[in-house]
Amino acid sequence: MKRRLASYFGRPSPVDPVHDAGTDLRAQVRRLEIRARRAMEAGLTGQYQSAFRGLGLEFEEVREYRYGDDVRTIDWNVTARTGDLHVKRYREERDLTVLLLVDLSASTRFGSGVMTVHDLIAEVSSLFALSAARRDRVGAILFDDDLRAVIPPRLGWRHGLRVVREVLGSAPQGSGTAFTAAVRGAGRLLRRRGIVIAVVDRACSLPRRELLALAARHEVVVVRAADELSRTGLVGSRLPVIDAETGRPGVVRRTPGEPADAVPPGIDAIDLVTDTDYLPAVRAMLERREKRVH
């Protein structure tokens, strides 16, 4: 894995493998872009920027005091010299890097309604990518039973769209979930403090030790996606299925299986299901973070 990550440094901009993709994928990217723009125009971008603050403040200007300004920002030297109240204004230094860890394991192909777990993972990952692309660098590690692709973080809306196309254009596969390897890879890829957003199948085991080590240096959010049928089963029924990763037969029942792993302390978590709009849950997480950081 070290060799694979190292191979992405010092190379020219990677070729977009879905640049010449079919009309269906382009239309899907366009629909998601429109949905993301509407969400951001409704205030999601502001919530994201408030929830994930920059690394410091940079002096911008001194201007006359206006009603409502914080009195703690008054510049007393300029005020004494001019005889009028003046305040210092600062601009947030963001310089943030957002790295998405996207689960593409075969188990995400499951879906009992209008969308699969993979569809939900792809949409949520894309929403975060486009929200970050407004002002921050964004990259991604895509994984199934191995690290499938590493997209180095870069600035710009077009790069954000490239991340979206990569995620939407990648079909789930593999015989396992290399979440632990992806978390370790994120720690090696990020040189400065950043934001790591892992979007995974709820059935995926969480590498507790690796997540805690990553959270000691970076902001970490774990988004877990599930299908309602796989969580609760059918009332009074047993539904035979084939495990997409192992190929073994199984049964979906009313009695839930093992509960999902507890998310380690200090890490924000969002639990989503395929039959419910994910935006309210994303907003709720951002609001919790905003209250905590202010």
Mean pLDDT to the nearest integer, 83-89: 88
Helix, strand, coil percentages, rounded to 5, for the chain:
40, 25, 35
Mean pLDDT to the nearest integer, 120-131: 90
Summary mean pLDDT of the chain: 79
Task: Report the distance separating Cα 115 and Cα 191, nearest Å.
Answer: 36
Q: Report angle CA 183, 104, 17 to the nearest 5 degrees.
A: 100
Task: Report the distance separating Cα 25 and Cα 231, nearest Å.
Answer: 29
78 vs 31 pLDDT, higher one? 78
Phi, psi (rounded to 5 degrees) for 253: -120, 175
Look-up of token digits 């009309």: 23
46 vs 169 pLDDT, higher one? 169
Model pTM? 0.74
Task: Report the distance separating Cα 81 and Cα 121, nearest Å.
Answer: 58
Look-up of token digits 């690290």: 147
Q: Is the C-alpha dihedral spanning 268, 172, 129, 146 positive or negative?
A: positive
For residue 255, pLDDT over 80 is answered with no
| pLDDT tens string 145-156 | 999 999 999 999
| pLDDT tens string 179-216 | 999 999 999 999 888 999 999 999 889 999 999 999 99
| Comma-separated ranges of CATH 3.40.50.410 domains in the chain | 2-49+95-293
CB-hemisphere CA count at 13 Å for 8?
22
pLDDT band at 14 (very low <50, low <70, confident <90, very high): very low
In CATH terms, is domain 2-49+95-293 a member of 3.40.50.410?
yes
pLDDT, position 15: 43
pLDDT, position 90: 66
Task: Report the distance separating Cα 136 and Cα 128, nearest Å.
Answer: 11
